[in-house]
Amino acid sequence: MVRVADVDDTGAALNLYTGRARLDGPVPERPWAVYLAEQAGAEGPRFRLLAFDLDAKGDPAAAQRDADVLAGVLDDAGVPHVLCRSGPSDGRHLWVGLNDGVDAATVATLARLARHVCPSLDLAPLTNPVTGCVRPPGAPHRDGGTSQVLRGDLGTLTASSTTPEQVRALVSRLAQLVDDTEPAHDPAARTPLPVDRHGHLYLPGARRALPAVSAAALQADAAVGDASAVAWTVLIGAASARWHHDDVAALVPTSPGLEHVRTLRQGPTRRPRPARGPASAAMVLRRQWHKAVQHVATTARQVGADPTFDARADAITAAVRAVQERADATAGRWGTRTGPTDRRVLDVLCTLALQAVSADVEADTRRVALLAGIGRETARTGLLRLAAERWIALSQAASGPHGARWTLTPRATPPVTSPDAVSPATAPLAAVPPGAVHRKVTTNRSQGDPRPAGAGPAERLTLLTDLTARTTAAAHDAFTTRPGLGHLVGNTWARLTHPMSTIDLARITAHPVDELQVVLGRLADAGLLVRAGDTWSRPARDHRDLRDVVAVARGAAGVLLERERRYRVERVAWAWWQAEHAWMLAPRRAHPARRAGTGQLDLLAEPGTTTLGAHPRRPDGRADFRAARAIVAAAGITDRSPAGEPQQAARDAGRRRAA
């Protein structure tokens, strides 16, 4: 059976496939699509075809570039494939035929890793084995034309030699690509690295070809996007391939992907870098190259160091994904008055769980609030609401210096009915009772379908990257409450990582279309979105700069920074009181009148002694918390300071207090 597109009252084909037709019948005249998986009895659905649907919405060049990347990965893995132009929108379909069925979990992992490398990939067909369909070569498109073969032999789809083992090897190859191309902060070299005759760092070994992702980035038009990120992808790929600085320098004048090295951003345009100085192309390349070499040399490979990490990463990723899928499928929950902030709190807890590789994490309200870009009281009530609805569970209450511990509780959710039969939003989740996510994993998959090596850490990294990017994008001054645009507007903007239609965005945000159009209109009026037909996308200009402009224009600039400063003061003041409490419980302690004051340390410290001295008291002897916060704020001491806070700042605070 194949699925056939519906038509409207005028006879025009819709992107809704509810009709059916037999394979042995006449070829449908309307657009039609084939199932990628088949039911295999007790084993469940198994894929017999792989179809990578690279969507050209808003950016056909991106779909073509991603198709070249995936085709290169398939070529490297020895997997024959067919590349098609999907229709007049200039999207791409990459087809792979299988000689035996592959389990749905492996294919879903393959799709998610490929999506991390190729952002234009539509996950739906490869992650829903029940109704996932794609139009095959030769099938008509609803806007005219047909799916045309650009490269490859159709015989490889009908009589394929690709085995499930090759698919699992392909997953492992993509997992390594994900690991190799992930940017990191400034690393510090743990061991000396060799230098060439010009003093540039390099990694010893035989030079290899650039990884497919880096090779594609080298030819990408970086001038219209994040040029520094594209250049970074090129450099870490070159470093891992054992290239030298001179090899990359020779490509700077002509390679589009190294635009960041050649030019500086100046408003909406770019200008050539100066010939000399720290901003020159030579100095930028030198700094970035050394950083890339150090990153490749020093990035910890946790799988090799810890043989259990792959399985543990796989388990926590599955748990977090279950929570996220359940949240995405719960229509209306996040559109209520408190819904947008509750979703931010849930996303922050999911991010912390992935970072800790544990479903049970310590998260005090101030930490959650700062990460989510909301107030601490809003974070506190959000945690309580999520716990009441069993999204999370309180495993340990806050005590002393320790914040409360929360556990994610993924559970079953009803099946989701999608209006798009070819691209359903979410497949039904498996039932996962609360507390089923263990901290120690001792078993993996059955022997029939082994887990591809390295897939667990790579999937954790892709999900962690997506959630971190989403929470960071939403936690901005421009998206605070008045005078900002609001939390719902920020959440919507954070979801628009690539061009989307209003219907697609409504599906992933679970907001009614009419309400969503109001939100999108506010973003467009603020200059944070542009519209082309029914497709919305972020402007080509630096997004962060645009948010800053909006925050300044609305008088919201600095709101989050001031909140962060205030919370740090409160943390230090609380730690001060904890030290005072330790002094009060000490069996042998100095008389209160003889204790050191602020900035007056004893030569022989006793329990509870800090550079701040004795905690301030009211005339009745009770702790004066307001005075303590004032002293900490005046001293400029925050929880980012090392264990010994600045002595001079404490002394100055003591003088001000005495005066």
- pLDDT tens profile 258-294: 999 999 877 667 889 998 888 899 999 999 999 888 8
Q: Give the model's pLDDT for residue 224.
A: 63
Q: What mean pLDDT is predicted for residues 644-657? A: 38
- pLDDT value at 184 more than 50: no
Pick the CATH number of 476-557 from 3.40.50.300, 1.10.10.10, 3.40.190.10, 3.30.300.30: 1.10.10.10
Q: Which of 584, 615, 616, 611 is nearest to 600 (CA)?
A: 611
Assign 641 a pLDDT band (cuts: 50, 70, 90). very low
329-338, 422-431, 445-454, 605-614: which range is least confident on average? Answer: 422-431
102-111, 175-184, 297-306, 466-475: which range is least confident on average? Answer: 297-306
Q: What mean pLDDT is predicted for residues 125-149? A: 89
Q: Give the model's pLDDT for residue 519.
A: 92
Side-chain half-sphere of 85: how many Cα atoms within 13 Å? 11
Assign 392 a pLDDT band (cuts: 50, 70, 90). very high
Tens-digit pLDDT profile for residues 221-267: 776 667 888 888 899 889 888 899 999 999 999 898 899 999 987 76
Percent of the chain with pLDDT over 70: 81
| Residue ranges, CATH 1.10.10.10, the chain | 305-417+431-441, 476-557
Q: In what order do the strands lie in the sheet with 500-501?
A: 500-501, 535-537, 530-532
- pLDDT value at 183 more than 50: no
Say how many residues make up the chain.
659
312: its two tokens:
């543990």
- pLDDT value at 642 more than 50: no
DSSP state of 477: G
- pLDDT value at 416 more than 80: no
- pLDDT value at 417 more than 50: no
DSSP state of 164: H
Q: Give the model's pLDDT for residue 309.
A: 80
Task: Please state whether 400 falls in left (phi above 0), alpha (psi between -120 and 50) or beta.
Answer: left
At CA 156, angle to CA 152 and CA 158, rounded to 5? 130
Calpha distance 549→543 (Å, rounded):
10
53-62, 98-107, 517-526: which range is least confident on average? Answer: 53-62
77: its two tokens:
């893995």
Q: Give the model's pLDDT for residue 599.
A: 52
Architecture of domain 305-417+431-441: Orthogonal Bundle (1.10)
Q: Which CATH class is domain 2-174?
A: alpha beta
Calpha distance 372→575 (Å, rounded):
23
